[in-house]
């Protein structure tokens, strides 16, 4: 498969991911938050949790979109036959940081209701914990790929110097 075709497929996957992030953060999450607000309306401070939760969703959505922007840059470079370059290493490291911050925020979403609002951590909160763990794994994957790519770029530069 040539570089342009790979780049096209990567960009198409990124567009689908961006669409999913936007739909979840702009339409689905506010509805779920509204349902939670109604279910716990007798809990003091629930409005604060509601605002904090929605803000957290939007912050993580923004971080995911920043990560996708770097992903798109990498995809375009691949299409230009620049798969093994220092810019891709930097982009992968930024992606790892963005997603690691998301993992921390999602983990906070598990424990904040119980700590600050005395809402018991139930089965619904398990989703946040699993999502946090998935984000942590993706962050480590991106960091590992950046380290691997960094080594490849280093070897490529050494090879260019010897020729």
DSSP string computed for 117-155: H-----HHHHHHHHHHHHHHHHHHHHHHHHHHHHHHHHH
At residue 160, the pLDDT reads: 76
At residue 122, the pLDDT reads: 66
Tally of domains in the chain:
1
- Phi and psi at 59, nearest 5°, equal -65, -45
> Domain containing 21: what range?
3-162
- 49-86 confidence digits (pLDDT tens): 788 888 888 999 999 999 999 999 999 999 999 999 99
Q: What is the pTM of this model?
A: 0.86
At residue 121, the pLDDT reads: 65
Whether the per-residue pLDDT at 109 is higher than 90: the answer is no
- Residue 60's CB is within 10 A of a number of other CB atoms, namely 25
- 11-59 confidence digits (pLDDT tens): 999 999 999 999 999 999 898 888 878 887 887 777 887 888 888 889 9
At residue 1, the pLDDT reads: 72
Consecutive H or E run containing 71: helix 46-79
How far, in Å, CA of 103 to CA of 136, rounded? 5
- 116-126 confidence digits (pLDDT tens): 777 766 676 77
Which band of pLDDT confidence, cut at 50, 70 and 90, is reported for residue 162?
low
């Amino acid at each position: 498969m040539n570089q342009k075709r790979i780049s096209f497929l990567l960009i198409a996957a990124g567009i689908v991911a961006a669409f999913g992030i936007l739909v979840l953060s702009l339409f689905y999450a506010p509805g779920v938050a509204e349902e939670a607000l109604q279910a716990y309306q007798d809990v003091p401070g629930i409005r604060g949790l509601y605002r904090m939760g929605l803000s957290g969703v939007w912050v993580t959505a923004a971080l995911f979109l920043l990560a996708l922007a770097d992903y798109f840059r990498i995809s375009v470079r691949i299409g230009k036959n620049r798969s093994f370059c220092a810019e891709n290493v930097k982009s992968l490291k930024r992606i790892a940081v963005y997603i690691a911050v998301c993992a921390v925020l999602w983990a906070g979403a598990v424990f904040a209701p119980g700590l600050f609002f005395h809402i018991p951590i139930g089965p619904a909160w398990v989703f946040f914990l699993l999502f946090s763990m998935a984000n942590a794994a993706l962050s480590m994957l991106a960091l590992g790929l950046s380290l691997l790519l960094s080594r490849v770029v280093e070897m490529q530069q050494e090879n260019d110097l010897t020729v």
